[in-house]
Structure 1
Amino acid sequence: MASATEALFAQPLLLLGGAVIAAPIFRKLGLGTVLGYLAAGVVIGPILHLIGGSGEILAVAELGVVLLLFIIGLELKPSRLWHMRRDIFGLGSSQVVLSGLVLTLLVYGAGLLDWRGALVAGFGLALSSTAFALQLLDDYGDMNSRYGQRSFSILLFQDLAIVPLLAMVSVLGLQGGEAQHSPLIEVGIALAAVIGMIFAGRYLLTPMFQIIGRTGAREAMIAAALFVVLGSAYLLQAAGLSMAMGAFLAGVMLAESSYRHELEADIEPFRGLLLALFFIAVGLSMELEVIIDNVALIAIAVPVLMAVKALIIFSICRVSGSSRSDAIRIAVLLPQGGEFGFVLFTTAAAAGLFSGAQSSLLISIVTLSMALTPLTALIGQRLLAREAGEKEEMDEDFEGAGSDVLMVGFSRFGQVAAQILLASGRDVTILDDSPDRVRQAATFGFRIYFGDGTRLDMLRAAGIEKAKIVAVCTHRKDITDKIVDLIRSEYPDVRLFVRSYDRIHSLELRARDVEYELRETFESGLLFGRRTLEGLGATEDEAYEVGEDIRRRDDERLRLQAQEGILAGRELIHKRPVKPEPLIKPKKPVHAVETSTEAPAA
């Protein structure tokens, strides 16, 4: 009894300790947490033999993948999923079919298996790892990028493809016996389960969470969230689909629920821990004996597998419209085998399509390819980052655009302004032409659309015709002027709020009939001056009054300059004109380098 109790605590301690040690080290080295968890699993299991047998651990840890897919589903509204249908069924099906056929020919041509076993092995190796790919996208902050969405579409179709592939194993494995169900019946059961899930999500889940929410029992809400995820996963697994697909559908059905954010917060801690456990379990499952006995074959098979898949994925992505850089990113992200290959190979071995040793060999190839993926993805990212002269592109996707405020430009100025609008509950459509800013902002929860604000078609796609106010927050004066002129010529009645570069620019914008403009440094300069005055002994009220007096006189001077020219309003600076013109007359000489007789930047 004591030994069983010790094992109950010892194994979790080893796994948690491995995660705690490995993850920070590998992240510090720039290799990512996934590779760290894998390394921890290899050290704990195959090398030190501290934990024997990973089957039960892997079975539990797969719940991390299930919870990950549920959270992703929460982020994808049905309308968004419908918008992705071409990538899911076009790009995804092309990848599975082409990769499966090419790999089948390679396996059969090498004489490793007969045609039936080669067919199962080829299509099993064509599947990629959802857990690895999505975790890497999350590490890079690229989940909402265009290439991230296309990668997810391919992975989603692969999850769907596991149903016909398992049916294919059943058909190929029949040798005089009879199957319990025909493939058509199995597909029918799977479709019925999906329809049942959609019905339950639409009519049952939200009312259930409303009832639980009224009780105010926090622990009941967490239990209900886990119940929905695990129940959906079990239902679809029983119907022949994957558990991850069930959780994903549950998430999609709740994507428009008012409880979406609370559910995500409840599930997230379980997701992170179990997903880390999954990667450690993959490391534990690596059979070093099989690898050593077949080292020459595996040394050839793993790079060939990854190269073939990467080449096919790159080709179909380019043909379907991805930029070169995006196609490379997808190709280096999805060249590995996947966890569903484990299921397919085990089932095929049980059906007699190949031996247990051959199944272990295929599983070892898949596992090693998964272990190498973080390195290949990292190399791909580094190479793309170092390419000189090639500007990164992102596909323009304006699904869901159209708000009361259309903000063009999302650098530091726009980010601060957007936070005020979003905090007040206003919807803001943000347009920016920097892929880096789009990806970075996505990691903080902002929804930004990639596009050039100087193009009329981009402004229309972003919903300018629905906008009550257009906020132009670009930081370059020439770009700002181009956008303002374009909007004024095409939409003369639109209310324009514009970030100004300096005083001269403010006057130019007022001449363009801009409703509101603000110099980018004016407010911060006033605040800085007030705080400095307080630091010299003035009270807060005294400093505020001085600042407000400066603001009032500056605004009046701008109004006069807009009417009479740049030299108007000098007397408003001080009772007596001062050259060069500061805002107020200094009491003592100021040592400064005079670059102009005017102070337009004030």
Structure 2
Amino acid sequence: MVNFLQVFLIAVSSAVILNVFLKRFELPTIIGYILTGIILSQIYHFNVDDGFLHIAEFGIVFLMFSIGLEFSLKHLMTMKKEVFLNGSLQMLSCGLVFTLFVMAILGLVDKSAFVVGFALALSSTAVVLKILNDNGDINEQYGRKALGILLFQDIAVIPLLLLVDLFSSNDANISQLLLTTFVSAVILIALLYFIGKYLVDTIFRFVIRSNSQEIFILTILFMVIGASFLAHKFGFSYSLGAFIAGVLIAETEYKHKIEADLAPFRDLLLGLFFITMGMQIQFQIVFENWLLVLILICIVCLFKLGIVFGLLLVYNNKRIALKTALSIAQIGEFSLAIFSLLQTRNMIDIKTSQILIVVAIITMIITPFILNNMRKIANIFEDTSLNSNTQIPVQNLQKKPKNHYIIFGYGRLGQEVVQRIKMIGVPYLVLESDLNLVELGISRGENVHYASAAQEETLKIANIEECAAAIITITNEAKLEMLCGILAGLKKPIDIIIRVDGNFEKVFFSSIDEHIRIVRTEKVLAKDLVQEALECVINKN
């Protein structure tokens, strides 16, 4: 019998040493956890049992609960296009294409091929959302679109699991199964809604009066696990119950404290989940079929990338479509559960199961490198368009403005800056290269113009040399460096207000002249930027 304490010590020490080493090269901890699982499997040669997998799965449960906290019901309804339209189109198109591929390449029969094809269409909620949360891109446009598709995929896991039960049972009653699922879903949502609306506030007030942090954390754990347990009892995944619970609790005033207290449990259990993934790899089968593994990785990633990019390009610009497609090009953790289940139901053999599991794990290992370099990859395509002969000038202005603020970027921070400036009553002009954001600003009656700030003609039309100050709200480092270089090279110097983080400041602003004002607050507020801009005007006068 394996000594549990010994396994635990080896696992923890391996994870710590590997992740400290990888962090020196700015590599994600996910890789360290997977390598830890591989080390454990090589030392002890034991398989991961169902009980261990259930414990590990709660890393995803807590992650989905945390994501749910960020989205109230009203917020979620505003994402119905991202969730239901984008998600359904992605699942159907990718699922059908991959079904044909696995029939041709792996020789699977129609029922098994159908489930495997749609399982390959799933992406990794655990990997993608963790990284998007860590780097703050979950609030970017592409982050919201990726989140919407991932949420739909998590919902799609339910019918996929039902299909496995249906296909593996010859006497299953389809109509009865569908009816039971529908009734269960209605009861589950109604029950969690009732608890969230009428009981959660009362429970938290009662717990907070005890003035005990331990009881508060214990209450949170009970709610998350309780919601997951209810969902599982009604035949759904644990993570779906946790997500619904998070959405409901997001309506309360305790969401931020809950999120902060839950983070350590979420991250540790996510680490355990990735350790179990590494433990499931059987290298003998992998080495014997390395070429097939490589072919499947290329097919799945490239086709998923191409399909999602093509679908989103219909009503999004190229940059957002590309970043969203790159974000979800991998295979997900729920796919691993489906592959294992198919093997236990004798719908696929162990060789096919191992090949699919390794393909999924490798794509998840690659994903952090893609997400952490997302802007650089997207800039390659954007720089090509900027250097082309196609000009994107700002719309002609009836009268050239003077003593005005020019705001570069109409993202979330740019929108807040505009609201502050409108309250002061100073004339302003916004330059934005994202057509969706331009349309949003125009719909609000704001002075937003579709333009590329990299072109000198644009700056001339905006009368850059007679502006009161330029406020830069964009976060893309490459575009930021390029824009600052252009503004610093103007014949007549202008005051520039910019927000940067510490790392970028060291690289680019080693020598800062008197016309550049930097706001260094960790979480930049629009009022800080506007205050600096007002001081520029006062100093001039």
- Tell me the TM-score normalised to structure 1 length: 0.64
Give the count of matched residue pairs.
437
Identical counterparts, % of pairs: 30
Match of 1:14 in 2: 10
Is 1:267 paired with 2:262? yes
Gaps of 5+ in 1: 392-406, 423-430, 437-449, 463-475, 484-504, 507-520, 525-554, 560-599
How far apart are the structure 2 equivalents of 1:277 and 1:410?
Answer: 43
Match of 1:569 in 2: none
Match of 2:153 in 1: 158
Q: Which moved more, 1:175-184 or 1:200-209?
A: 175-184
Larger-gyration structure (1/2): 1
Is 1:382 paired with 2:376? yes
- Structure 1 counterpart SS, 2:94: helix
Match of 2:19 in 1: 23
Amino acid in structure 2 at the alignment position of 1:165: L
Deviations 1:96-132 (A, max 9, x none): 1110000001112336111111111101111111101
Shift of 1:81: 0.4
Is 1:370 paired with 2:375? no
Is 1:333 paired with 2:340? no
How far apart are the structure 1 equivalents of 2:92 and 2:316?
Answer: 19
Equivalent residue runs for 1:531-542 within 5 Å? none
Distance 1:104 1:435, change over 3 A: same
- Structure 2 counterpart SS, 1:143: helix
How far apart are the structure 1 equivalents of 2:272 and 2:345?
Answer: 30
Distance 1:274 1:144, change over 3 A: same
Deviations 1:451-488 (A, max 9, x none): 569965455599xxxxxxxxxxxxx77555899xxxxx
Equivalent residue runs for 1:272-311 within 5 Å? 272-311=267-306
Is 1:253 paired with 2:254? no
Distance 1:354 1:378, change over 3 A: same
Decide which of 30, 36, 49 is 1:34's aligned counterpart.
30
Match of 1:235 in 2: 230
Match of 1:345 in 2: 339
Equivalent pair of 1:11/1:51 in contact (CA under 8 Å): no
Shift of 1:67: 0.9
Amino acid in structure 1 at the alignment position of 2:61: V
How far apart are the structure 1 equivalents of 2:150 and 2:470?
Answer: 42
Match of 1:318 in 2: 313
How far apart are the structure 1 equivalents of 2:440 and 2:330?
Answer: 41
Q: Which moved more, 1:116-125 or 1:138-147?
A: 138-147
Match of 1:52 in 2: 46
Is 1:67 paired with 2:67? no
Amino acid in structure 1 at the alignment position of 2:73: P
Match of 2:116 in 1: 121
Amino acid in structure 1 at the alignment position of 2:62: L
Deviations 1:516-563 (A, max 9, x none): xxxxx99x9xxxxxxxxxxxxxxxxxxxxxxxxxxxxxx9xx99xxxx
Amino acid in structure 1 at the alignment position of 2:25: L
Distance 1:229 1:455, change over 3 A: closer
Shift of 1:145: 0.6
Match of 2:183 in 1: 188
Decide which of 104, 109, 117 is 1:109's aligned counterpart.
104
Shift of 1:408: 9.5
Equivalent pair of 2:7/2:40 in contact (CA under 8 Å): no
Distance 1:379 1:268, change over 3 A: closer
How far apart are the structure 2 equivalents of 1:152 and 1:37?
Answer: 24
How far apart are the structure 2 equivalents of 1:57 and 1:282?
Answer: 11
Distance 1:106 1:155, change over 3 A: same
Distance 1:216 1:435, change over 3 A: farther
Shift of 1:177: 6.2
Match of 2:510 in 1: none
Distance 1:111 1:293, change over 3 A: closer
Match of 1:536 in 2: none
Equivalent pair of 2:339/2:356 in contact (CA under 8 Å): yes
Distance 1:169 1:479, change over 3 A: farther
How far apart are the structure 1 equivalents of 2:257 and 2:161?
Answer: 36
Shift of 1:322: 2.4
Distance 1:480 1:61, change over 3 A: farther
Q: Which moved more, 1:95-104 or 1:52-61?
A: 52-61
CA RMSD of aligned residues (A): 4.0
How far apart are the structure 2 equivalents of 1:24 and 1:370?
Answer: 20
